[in-house]
Amino acid sequence: MHTTTNKKPLLARIRRIAGQVAAIEKALEDEADCAVVLHQVAAVRGAVLGLMDELIEGHLREHVARPGIDDATRTAAADELMDAIRRYGK
Amino acid sequence: MHTTTNKKPLLARIRRIAGQVAAIEKALEDEADCAVVLHQVAAVRGAVLGLMDELIEGHLREHVARPGIDDATRTAAADELMDAIRRYGK
Amino acid sequence: MHTTTNKKPLLARIRRIAGQVAAIEKALEDEADCAVVLHQVAAVRGAVLGLMDELIEGHLREHVARPGIDDATRTAAADELMDAIRRYGK
Amino acid sequence: MHTTTNKKPLLARIRRIAGQVAAIEKALEDEADCAVVLHQVAAVRGAVLGLMDELIEGHLREHVARPGIDDATRTAAADELMDAIRRYGK
């Protein structure tokens, strides 16, 4: 599974996002300037989009496009992918 | 090809969007209230997202997930799909 | 009103989008390769986002931030803006 | 400042997001099914968008639309807001 084969880089990515979120929490606690908080949240959104891209691509290549998958598994994985993409585009 | 098999509904969809865009042009020419124009443009964005969803799904099911496609074609179609998804999510 | 003062560039922008939409209609009629259509639609989405940015900024500067507006008008314009931004971010 | 007056609900919101991010980290560590991770990340994106909406609205009402602000402060706050909105819509 792509989230297992890419476990290390995915974990590094989610931990960076966790660090960004913790920084926002601290900025709010310290009553930092709101424009700073706005930018920090926009940056987290960008990081989450990047992680979403990576997961969608992993799912597409591993569970839909990879040679040797049986038809039923391919179709089920395509359904899951469309679910995520619809939520993602909105 | 999915854009051929679904030609009629896709053409109906893009013509609706063309109609929405023409309505915005008219609203600007008639100097309609800017809040009206803002909403019309947000509605076109929603319609374009809906069309994008349909095309991504068609591409995924027809060129990546469909049984009987050779591996090279499947991989090339997955590349094309990721290209569109990355532009789409941003 | 900003959509009147900027009428010419806004009309040029919406007419470019109308042209892009017409090109998609033609590509579908001519049964062009679906990857081409996907990219054309992603490009229209980008153009619509650009137009949305311009209208939101015009509304913000003209009806909310401009000196000399009475408080009630400012608040009503801020309500309209948030309406559009919520639809826009989703 | 709106991030101070709304400190408690904003902190509650960011802590919920921190909890969601921690759950993704755990799912990756436990090698959970990738479709589960995909959905968790899509949910975090939605939560971040919601927080972004709230911050944009707070900034708009507190620093741009509120009665009694001097013109220069209003204009500077409008600049900051457009910066965040442009990043947000992309």
What is the ipTM for the molecules in this complex?
0.87
Q: Is A33 helix (H, G, I), strand (E, B) or coil?
A: coil
Please give the domain boundaries of chain C with CATH numbers for all domains.
2-89 (1.20.58.1000)
Give the closest-approach CA distance of A62 to chain B in angstroms.
11
pLDDT at B15: 98
- From chain C, the residues in CB contact with B17 under 8 A are 21, 44
DSSP H helical ranges for chain C? 2-5, 7-29, 34-59, 71-89
pLDDT at D43: 94
Q: Which residue of A has its CA nearest to D41?
A: A52
Rounded-to-integer distance, Cα B81 and Cα A69, Å: 19
* Residues D1-49 pLDDT 10s: 788 889 999 999 999 999 999 999 999 999 999 989 999 999 999 999 9
Q: Do B56 and A85 touch (CB under 8 A)?
A: yes
* Residues A7-42 pLDDT 10s: 999 999 999 999 999 999 999 999 999 989 999 999
pLDDT at A53: 92
* Chains B, C: CB pairs < 8 Å: 124
* Residues D51-70 pLDDT 10s: 999 999 999 999 999 999 99
Q: Which residue of D has its CA nearest to A41?
A: D52
Rounded-to-integer distance, Cα C53 and Cα C47, Å: 10
* Residues B6-62 pLDDT 10s: 999 999 999 999 999 999 999 999 999 998 999 999 999 999 999 999 999 999 999
Q: Which residue of C has its CA nearest to D47?
A: C90
